[in-house]
Structure 1
Amino acid sequence: MTLTALKPQAQPAHRFPIRVYYEDTDAGGIVYYANYLKFAERARTEMLREAGFHHTAMMQGEGIVLAVRRCAAEYMKPAKLDDMLDVETQVTGLGAATIDLDQSIRRGPDELCRVTVTIACVGRDGRPVRLPAPLRHVLSTDTSDKK
């Protein structure tokens, strides 16, 4: 058996709405590039929360945190003040201690930014640890009927 990342079964993308506020923009009313990463982080956090995995509980209970290991962003079109955006998050792979995700930030049908991210599960000592089995299960199976 090779140590390649497992591909999760197809599941619907998680969607998280975000309104662009004045604080998110530069002087021209355009979303500052780093804020797209904040939008993506919020969407990942809410995806996990809706699946029953709260960051605080994981830290206090299992003594683990999920930290960004790798991130890449591609910017296609600008978001602007007062825009209503949707962040779509899709799990694309699972490693022993990692989660790979694709995230798309959209305004209606237009894709504005695409983020690919690898999240690492780390223990209190900062070293990688295996993803908890319940989290792995939720991320690797179709959860569309579990609401």
Structure 2
Amino acid sequence: MTEAKPPADLAPFAGRFVDRTHWFAVRIYYEDTDFSGIVYHANYLRFCERARTDMLRAIGIDQRATHEAGIGTYAIMGMDIRYHLPAKFDDALIIASRATQIRAAGCHIQQRVMRDDDLIFTADVKAAFLNPKGRPTRQPKQWVEAFNSVLVSE
């Protein structure tokens, strides 16, 4: 039997920008739920992290290369979260992420998790750019420019 090769155009879904909002889809699997059958509360943080990471990748921010080059990395310094409604097994959720503020050493991103027209979860995320010693430092100029290309007012 010969090994099957994956299609050349097959890649993980990374979401996409429409105007200045990044849209990212998540399907709820059994492993995402708790014993009551609803999404375990901490999993919303994982879903939002994936959406933020792909949002940054979509605007050309290569976090891995910057970290490996010893320049620095983002760290979450604050997050205001709110649970509005539960999500359940097999739900299709959409995460909308918007950059609302950019500073020399950080950024602010607002995220909404929705199921159709229902608001499920919200997060206001503040991240700081840290040097390898863990101190806030200016993020790369290219990153600031990338954020400015999608910045929205709060």
TM-score with structure 2 setting the length: 0.82
Partner of 1:138: 146
The equivalent of 2:14 in structure 1 is none
**Equivalent pairs, count:** 133
Tell me the CA shift for residue 55 of structure 1.
2.1
Residues 50-106 of structure 1 show CA distances to partners (whole Å, capped at 9, x for unaligned) of 112222111013521111000111111001111111110000111221100100001
Aligned residue in 1 for 2:132: 124
Cross-structure match for 1:59: 67
The residue correspondences of 1:1-147 to structure 2 (distance < 5 A) are 12-142=20-150
RMSD, matched Cα: 1.4
Q: What CA deviation, in whole Å up to 9, does each residue of 1:125-144 have, x standing for no partner? A: 1101112111101111249x
Structure 2 residue identity aligned to 1:64: G
SS at match of 1:94: strand
Task: Provide structure 2 residue ranges, at least 5 long, that are not aligned to the other structure.
Answer: 1-18
Task: Name the stretch that deviates more: 34-43 or 62-71.
Answer: 62-71
Larger Rg: 2
**Counterpart for residue 8 of structure 1:** none
For residues 92 and 53 of structure 2, what CA distance do their matches in structure 1 show?
Answer: 19
Structure with bigger RCO (C-alpha 8 Å, 6+ apart) = 1
What one-letter code is carried by the residue in structure 2 that aligns with 1:44? R
Give the residue type in structure 1 aligned to 2:33.
T
User: Could you say what secondary structure the match of 2:23 adopts?
Assistant: strand
Percent same amino acid among aligned pairs? 37
Q: Output the CA distance in 2 between the equivalents of 1:31 and 1:93.
A: 30
Q: Structure 1 unaligned segments of length 5 or more: list them.
A: 1-10
Query: What residue number does 1:5 align with?
Result: none
Normalising by structure 1, report the TM-score: 0.86
Deviating beyond 6 angstroms after TM superposition, the runs of 4 or more aligned structure 1 residues are none
Letter of the 2:114 counterpart: R
